[in-house]
Structure 1
Amino acid sequence: MDEQAGIDAGIQHYYSSVFDEDARLTTRSAQSALEFIRVQELVGTRIAAGSRVLDIGGATGIHANPLAEAGHRVTLVDPVEEQVVKAQRHGTFHAEVGDARQLRFADNSFEVALLFGPLYYLRTAEDRLKALAEAVRVVAPGGWVFAAAIPRFIHHAAVSLGNIPPKPYPQAWVEVLESGTPAPSGRFPAGHFHTAEELEAELQAAGLTAIELHAIEGPAGFALERLPNDEALLQAALTLVRRTGHLTAIRDMTNHLMAIGRV
């Protein structure tokens, strides 16, 4: 089994038997609401009314459902059948099993493509560009592609903070920062972690233009993962990320980073 095939198998096991992605996106912590609100505002304020939206790697439909309820025509694809079944229960959009690297849809079938997941599960730049190229292919000229990544900075923090730094410093932790290669410990089936600049370069290589980079949760997101829902903290975190989430370097201090480009 090659490396990507192992990650793909890990994704199936993780999201069908180990981890509840629906809870992470809704009720697990204060970060859930922060991520949801930011994604909806970054997408919803840009796309035209009644857009055809393809949600690639859309999990259980937490973002697809409100977009459909807002009047957009949404189709969701996800590689994990159990998540697609949960997505279908919303009843407001079409959901099916699919792979970001090989979409079944015709060219120019949508005005919007969302990739909130595929890029950080794909180990090689070749596979990530394949997924981005497929999104570009199915979106009509003038349409939008929104792609999320997990920053190297935040993953390094997650694996390294909270303990006395070991000596010698683990080479696996160095490689997270140098190349975006996931540390081998942990159950999350990651493929790659980005810098903002690397993510922007990948969108450019896929032919996208007018690219913007924004932190989704921002500097407070890491802390909010440890806390229950709290409206005052949520509003403070939203204020902070709205003011700073586009700034170079600061934008990498976030749980998730979003790149936005035009076809």
Structure 2
Amino acid sequence: MEQAGIDSAIQQYYSSLFDEADRLVERSAQGALEFIRTQELVTERIAAASRIIDIGGATGVHAAHLADEGHSVLLIDPVEAQVDKARERGTFEAHVGDARRLDFESNSFDVALLLGPLYHLHHAADRLLCLREASRVLRPGGWIFAAAIPRFVRHADVSLAKDIPTPYPEEWVRLLERGEPGAQGRFPAGHFHTGEELAQELTDAGLIDVEVHAVEGSAGLALEQVLGTDPDLVEAALTIVRRTGSIPGIRDVTNHMMGIARLAGP
């Protein structure tokens, strides 16, 4: 798998095949759950009036909410069409950019969000470069929040409710063993993580106080099938993930995981 091919597919997918602006807002109960829980994990840790860089921030759903909460937010994304939509919000800066090459001075931000780049990067070296670039632009003591898609949930997505082939598909084995995406679907995935692997990548980037949490938790897959944002279902799912989302193994049973860490400093 070549990263150049994934990068090209990302441009097509997010420009013309998929509406990221709608995903976290009203399309499904899963999107509402993901948005609320992501905001919780971030805002319960960061200081008021933080300077935030939202790397791979898409159309700015999270950036807009954080800006409304009084933070200063700068968004970058590689897809120009998404950046154009983000700019329309008018409450934060938005620029086209690449997570592997941040065009910002060191020690410029208090918080770095990486809510998309890691699962679009196939090679571990690129993911490490992405994390180190985010670390470089942080001030000492700054926070990184890095999302990943668990490989076990991806395996469930491609295999459940289907007859299991014999012999077992080699690409399913590669998915479980190494996190390699298969040929199914149009989503331009680069890598699927385990919780332990995500924690190790954050550690390898030189970060400290590493934690990994489920975002949606065990109800996430079910809520992806529920149209609209049923508040009772979302609240029930939040209750479960708040209690169980940091348990190793259990945290992998979710649509997304969140790696949380800090840059050493005061």
- TM score, norm. by length of structure 2: 0.97
The answer on 1:29 being equivalent to 2:31 is no
Shift of 1:232: 1.2
Aligned to 1:239: 239
Offset from partner CA, 1:197-221 (integer Å, 9 cap, x none): 0000000000000011100000000
Offset from partner CA, 1:129-166 (integer Å, 9 cap, x none): 00000000000110100000000011001100111111
Aligned to 1:42: 41
Show structure 2 runs of 5+ residues with no match: none
Give aligned-pair identity as a percent.
64
C-alpha distance in 1, partners of 2:213/2:77? 24
Show structure 1 runs of 5+ residues with no match: none
Any idea what SS the aligned residue of 1:164 has?
Answer: coil
C-alpha distance in 2, partners of 1:89/1:240? 36
Higher deviation after alignment, 21-30 or 106-115: 21-30
Offset from partner CA, 1:7-62 (integer Å, 9 cap, x none): 00000000001011111121111101100000111001110011000000000000
C-alpha distance in 1, partners of 2:10/2:17? 10
> Where do residues 64-79 of structure 1 align in structure 2 (5 Å cutoff)?
64-79=63-78
- Aligned-residue Cα RMSD (Å) equals 0.7
The answer on 1:177 being equivalent to 2:173 is no
Any idea what SS the aligned residue of 2:225 has?
Answer: coil
Aligned to 1:11: 10
Aligned to 1:147: 146
Any idea what SS the aligned residue of 1:63 has?
Answer: helix
- Give the letter aligned to residue 223 of structure 1: A
C-alpha distance in 1, partners of 2:251/2:53? 26
Aligned to 1:129: 128
* Residue-pair matches, total: 262
C-alpha distance in 1, partners of 2:175/2:21? 27
- TM score, norm. by length of structure 1: 0.99
C-alpha distance in 2, partners of 1:181/1:21? 23
> Where do residues 161-200 of structure 1 align in structure 2 (5 Å cutoff)?
161-200=160-199
C-alpha distance in 2, partners of 1:175/1:184? 12
- Give the letter aligned to residue 253 of structure 1: V
